[in-house]
Each structure stands twice: as structure tokens, then as C-alpha cells.
Structure 1
Amino acid sequence: MLKQSHLHSLKLSLIAAAVALVAAGCTFEPKYERPPAPVTQTFPEGGVYANQPNASSTASNGRTANNVAAPDIGWRDFFADARLQRIVELALKNNRDLRVSVLNVEAARAQYQITSAALYPTLDASASQNKTRTPKNLSFFNQTISNTYSVGLNASWEIDFFGRIRSLKDQALAQYLSTAESRKAAEISLVSSVADQYLQMLAVDDLLTVTRNTLKTADESYRITTLQFDNGVGSELDVRQAEGVVEQARANLQTEMRLRAQAENGLVLLVGEPLPDDLPPALPLDTQNLLSDIPAGLPSELLTRRPDIAAAEQSLLAANANIGAARAAFFPRVSLTGSFGTLSPTLGGLFKPGSAAWSFAPQISLPIFEGGANVANLDLAQVQKRIEIANYEKAIQNAFREVADGLAARGTFDDQIKALELFVKSQSRRLDLSDLRYRNGVDSYLAVLTAQTDLYNAQQLLINARLQRLTNLVDLYQFLGGGWIEHAGDQPRPADAPVDYGATAPAAVPASGASGASVSKLTPVEHLLPSAPQADTVAKGNAPD
């Protein structure tokens, strides 16, 4: 009789499991629809946007992107300076902020696995001894001490009829994908930040060179005017004016030396270790020769190029899935618990015939009164989704603005630098003529000092314009989604892959579907990112069947 009852219970359990597998595919999640992009269909055109550089531009020196999109251009192809390439490589391996981003991905993956595990039954082995004493006047046959030994298996399973656990799993998956995309955005931003800081350091080097040359010229002028004053053929006014230029140049030199040290400290912080001594020699600022003609494409392409936009959409998907979990909380929870093992009053009798024991306890819990908590949770989930919609739209608007600003700057810097180069040339000639006129007694020394100061300022303007042009190209490369691959033609790594380019990037998203696949099976993260027509594969919109 015991065997028949056990068999009957097993049949019921199998039927319940089959029903659960069918029902688990349904959720209360709203059907996901990607919000329309709140920007125009094209980037601004005409005016400052019309004069974009191409392969024939003077500043490009024949280097061209060949109309390849930024995400397909490796950062080693974008940067021509071997020293900068080496520094970027070191930063990708040692930067602490990037390490934190990678660890955040691992934490989110673990959280996803924890949430996914709730879809499956739990099975525990247990062994216990229960020893009790009963008062003599309440005991039978004067047996005041009793022992119970047990060994067995305990199982429990919440059957996800209404998709609550599946919605929580979808939410955890979307949060994991969002964290992975944020990590990708952090790596791309690091490449850009390292390049910007490196270029800033080169610009200060150029400013130091100009200031030292200016100081050298000013010292020589001061020496000559002092000699002339001592011989009675010059005025003290000329001496003091020359002395003022010398001291100003010395002060500027100290300022720029301080900025140079601070710029290097900033670069060391980004790299995550002191700069090694065996770095390749650096290219001067005016010969960096970055790729300057990367096509902008269309604003809609930013949705797939920009990992920060992908991260914002995954956060939106997580909020959408959370609504399904909040809705499912209004419906009953069905759980199965059971145990099978042996019981015996003696340790030696645990495995003797007739000691088998089992229990089966299905349970249904239906919320009746929760003090409004379930309603409030649903309201909160819906508000959070609206917040994430606004964040997603803001991410698109911010990306559009960054690219548009970059295009406006790229369309003006080449002509600005050409004009400043001519300006520096004219001020240099002006200084030569002013000095000649002064030496011939035609003009005062004030004209020489003014020309010298104007040349110094013009040289500074030219260096700053060159720096701004280069940082604009670097930032535009980042804004268009470039900086994730090392070489053009490389297979893009998954967003959660390690930085070590020499290692095989492991796929790291655990796949656990209704088919009962192992939770240890891993799938590349990009395979789980929703595209526009397939967005509802992650956030299902079907009501329970």
C-alpha cells in the first residue's frame, strides 16, 4: 500500500511539473516597444557643418578612414603615435575604474544566476537527531527519554504559473546587460580620456618650448638695452620694459612647468601605474595625424554604436520586466514541498526495512489584504519605467548633441589653424621689422616689446587650437562609438569580455530557458541584446494563457 501511494504522489508531481513548464512561459510583462528617438533624422548640415575634412585635407597627410564607421576602426588605427598606443594599452590593463566596471559586471552576472535559480526546484539532504525527555507522569511505560533519528531528502519548488519569477529573471538579465554595456562605455571613454590627457601633455610641452624661446629672446633684449643704458645711448624706460617681458616669461615658464607635471600625474592616474622608461618616442603635437574623416552616419545608428544608449535601453527593459513581477504579485503562489527518507528511534535502525517515511505538502497562497503594498509596488514599477524612458531619451539626446558639437568643431578647426599659422608667421615678421626699426632709431623699443608679446600670444593660440582640434577628433571618435576594438577588422569582444587582448574572451551570460538548459551554459552578451524588431524576446508582453 505504501508503494502504491508513493507512485501515485510521484505521478501527481510529474503532472504538476509539466503544467508548470507550460505555464512558466507566460508573464504579465507589458509588451516592450522601443521609444522613438527624440531627435531629428539627420545631423545638422550647412554652415560650419559643411566643411568636413576628407582624405585630401592638408591636416590628414593622406590618412583616411575610407568611409569606415567609427566602431569598426581600431584605436591602434585611429592613433598614429606609437607612444600613445602603448600608453592606451597599459591603461586598459591597469586602470582601476575600469577594473571596478568589470567587477560590477561579474556581480550583476552572479545576481542574474541567483534570480534564475528560483525557477528550479531546490533539493537538500538532511540528517538529524531529536532527543526529548517527557515527565514520568506523562510518559508511557516509564520511558521518559525518546530518540528519533532521520535521514532524507527535502525538496521545494515554487511553480511560476503567473510569471513572477520569470519576470524577476528578465529584470536581472536586463540589469546585467545594462551593466555590461556600461562597462563597455567606460572602456571606450578611458581610451578617449587617455588620449586627451596625453595630447594635453604634448601641448604643454609645446608651450614650454615657446616660452623658453621667448625667455631666451627677452633675456637677450634685456642684455642689449641694459648695455645701451650703461653706455648712455638708451633710456631706463627701455630697460624696465625689457625687464618686465623677461619676468613675465619666467612666471609663465613656472606656470607651464607646473601644468606639465600635473598633466603627467593625471595621465599616470588614468594608466594606473607609472609610465615606463622604455616607451617609444612621442610624435610632436602638430604631427599626431589622427584619422580626421570618420563618417558621422545617421543619428539612428547611434542606437547600436553607443553602449551608453544600449545600457539605458537595458535599464528600461529591466523596469518593464519589473512591472510583470509587480502584476503577478496579485495572483496566487503555488509551491510544492516534500521530503523522502527514513525515520527510526535508533541510529542502527535507520536503513532497516519498514523505516521509510515521506511527506508531500502542496501550498497555495492568495493575497487578500496587504495594506495596499501590492498596489503601491505596481505604481512604483510603472513610475520607474517612465523614469527609465526619460533616461533613455535623454541618453539619445545627449549623444546627438555630442556628435553635432563634434561635427561643428571638426568643420571649423582646419581653417582656424591655417589662419593662425599665417597669423604667427605675420607676427614673427612684424617682430623682425620692429627690431630693425628700433636698432636704426626709427621706432621706440615699445614697438619691439608689443610685437614680441603679440607673437608669443599668437603662438599660444596656435598650440591651443591644434590641441582642441585633436581632442575634438578623439572625442568625436568616442561619441560615434569607436575605441572598443584594437585593430580594424577585429571581431568585437562581448561587452563583458576581459581587456586582455591576448586571451580568448569568454562568453559570460548564463542561458537558462524553459527547456531546462544548465545555468552554467554561457552565451555571448551581444546575442541577448534586443534589436528593434526583436525587443520583446527579452521583455515578453503576453498575458497568462
Structure 2
Amino acid sequence: MLLKSIKTLSRKCLFCYLSVMLSGCSFIPVYERPPLPTAETYPREECTQNCSNIRQLCWQDFFTDPALQQLIALGLDNNRDLRIAIGRIYEARAVYGHSWADLFPTVDGIVPGLRTRLPGDLLSSALSTFSSPTTPSTPSNPAIFSSAYLAALSINAWELDFWGRLRSLKDAALEEYLATEEAEHATFISLIGQIANTYLMERELNELVSIAKKTVESRQKSYHLMKRRFEEGSSSKYEAIQAETLLQQAKADLTVLERRRELNWNAMTLLVGTPITLDNHLLSQIEAYFIKEICPGLPSELLYNRPDVLAAEHRLMAAYANIGAARAAFFPAISLTGAYGSASSELKNLFHPGSKFWFYFPSISVPIFDWGKNLSDLGLAKARQNIAVSQYEHTIQVAFREVADALTERAWLAEQSVIQTEALASQRERARLAWIRYEHGTSPYLEFLDAERDRFSAEQDLVQTRRAFLASGINLFIALGGGYSR
């Protein structure tokens, strides 16, 4: 009884010792997040009382246009790039599961059977030194038959992770898996931004087409008027040709816009991933309520909001873990092979009490001379860590620039929109007065044509500026990492 208690205690102590060894040894460097490689604040930061914090907004709250919300929802369900990104998550998860399973022994069940036949002469020759020699009249020895049956659980070359090599590889696979998840989030946000910008371009093109059609109608009337006056002799042929030229230019501009609109809608269909139909009257004019105002916050918040920044940090942490695995390779690798089960020469006696058997075979592999392989692997891991640090810092700098660019564009485009609105009003008044002056004979028809061209150009410029202003809001939302609810 005492001997049994001692054996039980010894097994418990051995188990505790192995647990401590398996969990306490790691060569992974201590991770420290690199300092922020940007300024502490953005060059422009304008927050009003109506601004919303980026963390408080999902894409449905930011984009208030119902038609756009419908398109984004379709895109998130059907876009193939997003499906590929989701598939890569499952791929990375499987790789992590494989590396996690390497920490534990693989137990296999084996049930082999063996039946052998040996010539009798083989045995007699082995015993010939201990018996009298045979004579030609001695009959041949009969064949010898034997059987063996086995049922066992086996462990084949289970590596005991004393130095943390397998745990380091498991940690690296986990960080790569998390980085892949963040990459999918980045694809998610990027898709929302692409659909929103394409939708905004569609609204701009619809408005430009509407302006171009009105311009064609106006110039058609002017052409017919000048043609009739020429036929009546009250104006010159040159003025009629000028009116016709202006009409043809307007028609050419309209065809260009129609082509661009159709190509843009093809791009939208690709982004959404399914054929779509949308009423054109919903796209007739760009409205100010298209998006909400947001507050950019501080650059340090990009570390927690931007999926690409989070993905870069996970890859950096994976590089740290790979250094731990490379360091552990310098130490002996301890593995264990063993089996436990029953064996018998007869199948019916396979599970009798006296048929139990076991064996274990520990082995130690010590690296002695590998021509610098392990040292090169460690150097490679450190080089990749340095690359990962630079990639992480570069990702933050790119994110900072994207936010700063969006803020700059938003500020200047707002001012530009006000100026162009006033300029358009002046151009319309100029065109009206130029026509009156022409009617009274105080100015040539060419002056009116110039005023009409400038008015048409001013209308187009204002529409494009308004679209660019709203696009800067979309770009700011995406640059801040908005659109994905964690």
C-alpha cells in the first residue's frame, strides 16, 4: 500500500514538473509597441457640436441615404473580394488549429495481426550445434507457424515543448490569424467606401447629364433662332454657324457624360456583386444630408480603429513569436514514442488480463553542427521583425496622411463650394445680360456665346466640387477606420 502511494505521488510530481517546464520556458522577446511615428494632432481638426465620434457610428448611421444603404447591404452580401477575404480567415484559422494541435500528443489506435511461416530447417540449423548431425535418412523438419495479435494506443514522436518552440509557432500562427481577420475588416471598410464613392459619382454624373441636356435644349433654340434670322437676312451666316458649333459641342459633351455614367454603373454592379436597378430620380441631385459630420479625434486612436494598423501590429507580434521559435531551435529537442495495449499469440486471448504490454522510447536530438542553419534562421527571424516594425510604422504614417488629406480637402472644398456658388450666380447674370445686349445690338453674338460657355462650365464645376466635398467626408470616415462595429 505504501509502495503504491509512493508511485502515485511520484507520478503527480512528474506531471507537475512537466507542466511547469512546458509553461515556464519561452524565448519570445518582450513585445513593446513602437512609438507613434506621427504628430500628436492632425494639422486640421474641426469638431462642432453636431459632430459624431467615429467609434459611435456604424456605416448605417453615417450614410443616411436610403438608396446607398441598400447598395452597401447588397455589396456586403455579394462582393467576391469580401468573400475571398472571409475565406482567408478560415484558412488562417485552420493553420492556427494545426499549430495548436502540435502541442499535444497524437494518439493512434492500432490493431495489427501477424501470421508467419518459417521453414523447419531454419530452426534445425540454428540448433545443429547443440544436437547430433542429421543423416540423409533423417526426415525433414516440418514448417513452423506462429501468430501475433496486438491492440494498442500509440504515441509517435511527440515533441515535449520544454523550450517553447511549438508554443512560439502557435503564437505566431495566432497572430497571423488575427491579422487576417483585420485584413477582412479592412476589405469590409474599403468596400463600403468604394460603393459610396461610386454612388456619389453616379449622382454627380446624373446631375451633369441633366445640366447638359438643358444646355442642349437651350442651344438648340438659339441655333434655330439664329438660323431663322440668317434666312430672314437679319444676322450673318457666321453667327448661325457659331450657334450650330456651340450646339454640337453641347451634344458631344452630353455623349461623353452618358458614356461615363454607364461605365460608372458597370463599376457599381461589379462592387455590389449582383445586377442592380435603381430609380434615376433618386440620383438626380447631390444632397447635403448624404453623410453625417464626424470628429477625427487624435492620431493615437488610429491604433485601435484602423484594421490595417491592427493587422500590421499582429504581424509584428507574429515576428516576435518567430524569433522565440528560432531561439528555441538551438536547444535539444526531446520527443517521446510509446504504446500501451494487449498482445497475444491467439486472437481469443487478446484481452485477457495477462496480455497487457507497454513500452516507451524517449529520444533527445541535440544540435551540434548544422553549418550555421539555426543561426541563419534566427537572423532571418530578426530581419523580418525589423521589416515588420517598419511596415507597422509606415501603415500608421499612411493612415495619418489619409486622415490629414481628407481634413484638408474638406476644409478647402467647403470654401471653394461657396465661392463657386457665387461665381455661378454671376455667370448666369452675365449670360442674361449678354443676350439682352445682343438683342439691342450693343454687343456681338460671340460675347453671348462666351458667356453661355462660361455658365455651362461654372455649373459643371460646382457640381464636381460639391461631389468632391462629400467624397472627402467619405474618405475621412474610411481613413478613421469607421464602418465596422467591433
TM norm structure 1: 0.81
Q: How many residue pairs get matched?
A: 465
1:155 and 2:155 are equivalent in the alignment: yes
Give 1:193's aligned residue: 194
The structural deviation recorded for 1:38 is 1.1
Unaligned runs of 5+ in 2: 125-140
Q: 2:118, 2:369 → 1: CA distance?
A: 41
Q: 1:360, 1:14 → 2: CA distance?
A: 18
Q: 1:446, 1:136 → 2: CA distance?
A: 123
The structural deviation recorded for 1:244 is 1.1
Amino acid across the alignment from 1:31: V
1:245 and 2:246 are equivalent in the alignment: yes
Superposition map of 1:83-232 within 5 A: 83-139=67-123, 142-156=142-156, 157-232=158-233
1:440 and 2:424 are equivalent in the alignment: no
Q: 261-270 or 277-286, which moves further after superposition?
A: 277-286
Q: 2:105, 2:13 → 1: CA distance?
A: 15
Superposition map of 1:369-388 within 5 A: 369-388=369-388
Superposition map of 1:40-439 within 5 A: 40-44=39-43, 49=44, 52=46, 54=48, 64-65=50-51, 68-139=52-123, 142-156=142-156, 157-276=158-277, 281-282=282-283, 284-292=285-293, 294-439=294-439
Is the contact between residue 32 and residue 317 of structure 1 (CA under 8 Å) also seen in structure 2? yes
Q: 2:237, 2:35 → 1: CA distance?
A: 73
The structural deviation recorded for 1:199 is 0.2
Structural RMSD (CA):
2.2
The structural deviation recorded for 1:224 is 0.8
Output one character per residue of 1:189-219: Cα deviation in whole Å (capped at 9) or x when no partner: 1111110010010000011011111111111
Amino acid across the alignment from 2:268: L
After superposition, the Cα gap between the structure-2 partners of 1:18 and 1:159, relative to the gap in structure 1 and judged at 3 Å, is farther
Output one character per residue of 1:134-163: Cα deviation in whole Å (capped at 9) or x when no partner: 344324663344332211111243211100
Is the contact between residue 207 and residue 284 of structure 2 (CA under 8 Å) also seen in structure 1? no
Q: 1:365, 1:17 → 2: CA distance?
A: 22
Amino acid across the alignment from 2:30: K
- Greater share of residues in helix: 2
Instruction: Give the fraction of aligned pairs with identical amino acids, expressed as a percent.
Output: 39
1:30 and 2:29 are equivalent in the alignment: yes
Output one character per residue of 1:91-130: Cα deviation in whole Å (capped at 9) or x when no partner: 1111111111111111111211111111122211111123
Secondary structure, aligned partner of 2:107: strand
If asked which structure has higher relative contact order (CA below 8 Å, sep 6+), I would say 1
Task: Choose 1 or 2 for highest CA Rg.
Answer: 2
The structural deviation recorded for 1:184 is 1.1
Amino acid across the alignment from 2:55: P
After superposition, the Cα gap between the structure-2 partners of 1:217 and 1:380, relative to the gap in structure 1 and judged at 3 Å, is same
The structural deviation recorded for 1:279 is 10
TM norm structure 2: 0.91
Amino acid across the alignment from 2:112: S
Is the contact between residue 24 and residue 166 of structure 1 (CA under 8 Å) also seen in structure 2? no
Secondary structure, aligned partner of 1:285: coil
Is the contact between residue 179 and residue 315 of structure 2 (CA under 8 Å) also seen in structure 1? yes
Unaligned runs of 5+ in 1: 56-63, 486-491, 493-545
Q: 1:73, 1:38 → 2: CA distance?
A: 27
Superposition map of 1:456-495 within 5 A: 456-485=456-485, 492=486
Output one character per residue of 1:280-299: Cα deviation in whole Å (capped at 9) or x when no partner: 9457213444223x212111
